[in-house]
Structure 1
Amino acid sequence: MSFTRTLRAVGGAVVAGALLFGTAPVASADQIRHEQWPLRSFGADDVWKVSTGKGVIVAVIDDPVDGSHPDLKGNVLPGKSFLDGGTADRPDGKNEHGTAMASLIAGHGHGPGGSDGVKGLAPDAKILPVGIDLGDKEESYAEPLRYAVDHGAKIVNMSFEDFGDTSPAEKAAVDYARKHDVLMVAASGNSGSSIPRLPSAAPGVLAVGAVDIDLKVWKFSNYGSYIKLLAPGLHIRSAGVETPYRLANGTSDSAAYVSAAAALLRSKFPDLTAGQIANRLVKTAGLPDDMKGKKLPDPHYGYGFIRPSKALTANIPAGSKNGPLPALSEDSSKASGSGKDAEKATQSDAGMSTGVVIGIVGGVVGLLVVVLIIVLVVKKKSGRNGPPPGSSGGPSGPGGPGSFVPQPPAPGPYQQQPSAPGAYPQAPPTHPPGR
């Protein structure tokens, strides 16, 4: 049994004519860097004196990444495309969402001193691209997530939203990542909705919303009790595929910046757990003056917007291994094994496998045959000798004591919801347009 899934990128892009290479008039490379306002907001030049993300692998589960882009070349590992089974370090046609996210995380610019083009917040981190189909089709992020964990990722960026419920296989994959000390970061979505979107709302995943240049929550950023952090998500300049650069709005970009901040921290504090890294981000997050003193996490602000410089330098106790994330239950740990356990978890996504159903049916038929033989033997003896004194004779009816009435496996189709639109950077948009 399979279930229809809808995965959708949660970032929208627009070709901003005069601002892109290849259009007229042509923007200068230093203009592209100047338009990366989040780097100025973060104080990136000071941040990079402390950490650049060196030695950390960040998986990007998304469209395949263009590893030949001048601002990414050398920072993208081969990875794997779950679309065709090949590597994921080459662009997938016109789809550029994965390339954009990778550039916000680990872009290094180009030209003298890397001063031109797009630079990521963790320019020395490595990107492990894990290609999936973000369109409407039967899709699951369970196997891609396990692949990322098994191939060295310490952070996994998931800038997409899943319109459906978490399948058993996906829950097991999230638990598997947590058991292996991998921090998962996901975008909350761009529909201004309180309906939880997955994987951001899955327990143990760091859910991220978007703020604008004034550090106010974007009105289309999804909200709810599961939101943990905010990061820049409006008018975000990133690498493209059809054109060298793109401009976008969305919580996709916000999640990428949180993943990059986590890479900076994992590079500087390699002995901290994933939960303790999340703890540093949460404990140093900022809030507008009118939010200070309010109970946190707030449904819209979470614990606040990330401040990477403070997260890297503040004196913060390590705290519990889970930090702000829920504890991983013992049952979840057992369900998150690899190998055959992973195969069983994946099978559970589609209900009982054919082999299991055949086995159950065969067992029931065998049991009924044995019961029938016993009944015939007893009846034959009863015909010869009569019932024993005081007995009423006759076997139990169906469902009586000691009987077994097989029940069919309960179906578990996902409850689909309408696709949420993405967002383009026209200001101010009256509604969130499509991807």
Structure 2
Amino acid sequence: MPILPALAVVLPLLLAAQSIEEQEWHLDALDVYSAQDQARGDGVIVAVIDSGVDAQHPDLAGRVLPGTGFGSSKGTDGTTDTDGHGTGMAGIIAANGKNGGALGIAPGAKILPIASADEKEQFGLDVVAESIRWAADHGAKVINMSLGFSSTMTPTLVKAVNYAIEKDVVLVAATGNEGKEVSAPANIGGVIAVAGTNREGKPWKSSNIGADTVLAAPAEGIVTAAPESVYSSGYAEMDGTSAASAIVSGVAALVRAKHPAMPAKDVVNALIKTAKDLADPGRDETTGFGMVNPMGALTAQFPPVERNPLLPEPKPSTPQPTPTLVAQRPEQPVAEMKDRLPFVAGVVGGTALMTGLLIALPAITSRRRQPVSARDTPPTPW
């Protein structure tokens, strides 16, 4: 089953004077304002593979480029969002923060929306693969994937990830929200798999974890933009690794803006090397290398790396034997290698179900969400 229906919960409003930006507690927790004195994401395109992005939202005005659509969104430019998840992720990354609205991590960045999911359709991993390739071919320097599938990665998806890495793209994905193993595509080598933390900086209770976890970021009570067609206030509060992934994508955009000549592999290295350990020293299954550290990643200096540090070491080539003129056996036919069939969840025409953050499914408690307004009080920490 797909595993990223992130949560959204709000409590009754009490603090009438609090703006949306003031409710974004993660900005202070990560010292984002200091980081924005160093860079604001200008000149960086961040692709958001999601449900589309509402380009008309005031907090995203001038931030959203024409994109594209796949699956049921084929033929669109990705700039509408009937679900809300994609707009929420775009807001976390690049909202402009005007007039007390939502402020993104990298408000100078541009969003390239790729509509690949909505609440009515079922999509396979190959649709995500197609979206990754399109983003890499259309100027994306960072690709945010706040989505995932509890499935075996398919060859097509792995090839798409490798293609984007070769095109010098930083790929970021959420680990998932079921408290299980890291989902695809976050579990593919080279992708920054982001787990979630709560307000106290502890692991968020529903975050997927495992050896593939790379970084952690806030995933609880994250206030962001939402389409007014979905929530009349234009805002929603979200819990989930979807939000954590978007935060890390925003930080990656800041680094790429400050160091435009820095290759993606060195951006990934900077994010990893400057992360703040949350558990025992070194990498762990719950929070990876630690909490993403915007200021550290922007200001630290490391020597260039030879490859993306999340990729496995290349295998040494095996010396080939010198051919001889002695009698040799004739070549034997090689059996045709069959591709491993992709895992399929909720089989309907061979696709895997993918669900967005703000989908209205009241019977499923893990998908709770409500709109928030500038008058709402941030929820009590879990």
Tell me if 1:149 matches 2:152.
no
> Which residue matches 1:96?
84
Unmatched segments (≥5 aa) in structure 2: 316-329, 347-351, 359-363, 369-382
> Which residue matches 1:366?
none
Deviating beyond 4 angstroms after TM superposition, the runs of 4 or more aligned structure 1 residues are: 25-28, 327-330, 401-411, 417-424
Aligned counterparts, 1:27-426, within 5 A: 30-82=18-70, 83-91=73-81, 93=82, 95-111=83-99, 116-134=100-118, 137-139=122-124, 140=126, 141-193=128-180, 195-241=181-227, 242-243=230-231, 244-288=234-278, 291-292=279-280, 294=281, 296-314=282-300, 316-327=301-312, 412-414=341-343, 416=345
Q: Contact (CA 8 Å) 1:148, 1:156: kept in 2 or not?
A: yes
Distance 1:134 1:421, change over 3 A: closer
Q: Contact (CA 8 Å) 1:8, 1:134: kept in 2 or not?
A: no
Distance 1:17 1:279, change over 3 A: same
- The residue type paired with residue 109 of structure 1 is G
Matched residue SS, 2:102: strand
TM-score, structure 1 normalization: 0.71
Alignment RMSD (CA, Å): 2.9
How far off its partner does 1:415 sit? 5.1
- 1:49-99, CA deviations, whole angstroms, 9 ceiling, x for partnerless residues? 1100100000000011001100001000010011231110122x2x00000
Q: Contact (CA 8 Å) 1:10, 1:161: kept in 2 or not?
A: no
The percentage of counterpart residues that share the same residue type is 36
Q: Contact (CA 8 Å) 2:6, 2:367: kept in 1 or not?
A: no
Matched residue SS, 1:48: helix
Q: How many residues align?
A: 335
Separation in 2, partners of 1:172, 1:422 = 24
How far off its partner does 1:404 sit? 7.6
Separation in 2, partners of 1:124, 1:68 = 17
How far off its partner does 1:129 sit? 0.3
Q: Contact (CA 8 Å) 2:91, 2:102: kept in 1 or not?
A: yes
- The residue type paired with residue 43 of structure 2 is G
How far off its partner does 1:287 sit? 2.3
Separation in 2, partners of 1:259, 1:173 = 18
- The residue type paired with residue 179 of structure 2 is G
How far off its partner does 1:43 sit? 2.0
Distance 1:432 1:269, change over 3 A: farther
Q: Contact (CA 8 Å) 1:191, 1:422: kept in 2 or not?
A: no
How far off its partner does 1:126 sit? 0.3
How far off its partner does 1:32 sit? 1.4
How far off its partner does 1:432 sit? 6.9
Q: Contact (CA 8 Å) 1:239, 1:245: kept in 2 or not?
A: yes
Distance 1:408 1:248, change over 3 A: closer
Higher relative contact order (CA 8 A, sep 6+): 2
- The residue type paired with residue 286 of structure 2 is H
